[in-house]
Structures are given as structure tokens and as C-alpha cells.
Amino acid sequence: YSKNPNLLFSMASTTKIMTAIIALEYYKMGDILTIRTEKVDGVNVGFKIGQEFFFKDLLYSMLLPSGNDASLAIAQNYKGGEEEFVRKMNKKAKSLGLYSTHFADPAGLLDREDYTTVLDLAKLASYALRNKAFAEVVGTKEILISDVSKENSYKLTNLNKLLGINGVTGIKTGYTDEAGQVLVTSKTEKDHTIIIVVMDSLDRFSDTDKLLYLVSGNINYLSIHP
């Protein structure tokens, strides 16, 4: 089912799905990253310049409360810095056939330059879920992390209100004034994964919940034999 599947929309923080993909293909979970910028626009976990974190904890910080400071740290610690990281994001999009998608920053703050379609975003989400680490993180409701020194700890809560309800296993929220409310949802049913993407919504959780209700028990899976 689709409505305006190829219309371009600002994607807001669902940009971080691609940020996570590039990061997971580059970093190891135990790699130590340094915070180089604090008080980024939008949502911040509250990190300070000079703090060190394991990559795994920054990944949770980026995908659960949608910390822009975490996503920027992940990009800035990449070989070649943020500019090269964003270039890699766009290269990956092309390799996945997401020809209507463009990234300008790792957090999704640049509305007019971070754009995609619901169809491309669904394809991106499907690809991301193949990574077990990604699936585990976006399926986590809350977690307590700390910096490497163990001197500072942070309780992270997932912004996805539907997580764990009616088979929902993830994936990512997004919001800016221009993008409106965005939600990418994964649902497990009969050993299949269903992806639902809502963009430019006034109530992303209500819209998605209605689609979840329509989907539940109403899909027939066909086996194709050669």
C-alpha cells in the first residue's frame, strides 16, 4: 500500500538510519570516539567536548533519544571527518538504488538538502535491519550508558512510543518544522518483516497505528516456485 511513494520529503532524523549503516560498516563496537562538538542544534544527550565513548554507546545515543551530538561525533571521528562521512552516505545510497535520496549532514538537520521518498526510506530501513547490531539497538526501549571514564552516565529512552506493541520492533523517529513528523516502523508477523513509513505527518504514531491495524492479519504471503 502506498500514497505518494515517490514524492520528495525532508527526512529529519530518519537520516540517522544511514548514519548508523555507514558507522557500523566502519567502526567496531569497542572503538573509542571523542566528542569534538557540544550543544548541537536540536536534540542533545548532553555530551561535553573531550569526553570519550565506546562507539556502541554513541550508536544507542543516536538511535534511541535521537542525539544529534552523538551522530555528529560518529561522523567527526570518521577517517576524513564529517565531509567524507556524508560523501560515503550518498555513495551508499546510490549503491542501494536510492536515486531519490540525498544526505547533507549526519543528523538530518538540513531540511532542504536531506531528502528522500517513502519508497527509498523503506528500502533503506529494510537494508539496515539485516544488520543484527542495528536491529538490536532500534529494538531497545531504554538503556544506561556511560563515558569511557565511567564518571558520567546517561539514561537513554527510545522515542518510538509504538516499540514492543503489536509486534513493532523498531525503527526510527524524525521531526523538524519543515519535515513534519516522520516515523519508520518495522513489524514482525508470521516470520515476515513489514516496513511502514510515514512522512510529513501531523500525528505519526496515530497514522502508523492505523496502518498497523489494517496490516494485522490481512496479508497473504505467496510462495513462488520455479
Residue 145 CB neighbour total at 10 angstroms: 20
Quick one: pLDDT at residue 63? 98
The pLDDT tens digits for 32-44 are 999 999 999 999 9
Q: Quick check: is 13 catalytic?
A: yes
Number of neighbouring beta carbons within 10 Å of residue 38: 16
Q: Which of the residues 16, 92, 123, 172 is marked catalytic?
A: 16
Q: Is 66 a catalytic residue?
A: yes
Q: How far apart are CA 29 and CA 155, in angstroms?
A: 19
Length of the chain: 226
Residue 218, pLDDT score: 82
Grid cell at residue 118: 517513502
Evaluated on CA atoms 154, 160, 162, 163, the torsion sign reads negative
pLDDT of residue 1: 85
Please give the pLDDT value at position 226.
65
DSSP 174: E
**What SS3 class is residue 57?**
helix
Per-residue pLDDT of 165-211, as tens digits, reads 989 999 999 999 999 999 999 999 888 899 999 999 999 999 999 99
Q: Which of 61, 66, 71, 186 is catalytic?
A: 66
pLDDT for residue 26: 98
| pTM listed for this prediction | 0.95
Instruction: Report the C-alpha gap between 117 and 99 in whole angstroms.
Output: 10
Q: Supply the pLDDT for residue 7.
A: 96
pLDDT grade, residue 225 (50/70/90)? low
Examine the pLDDT at 29 and tell me if it is beyond 70: yes
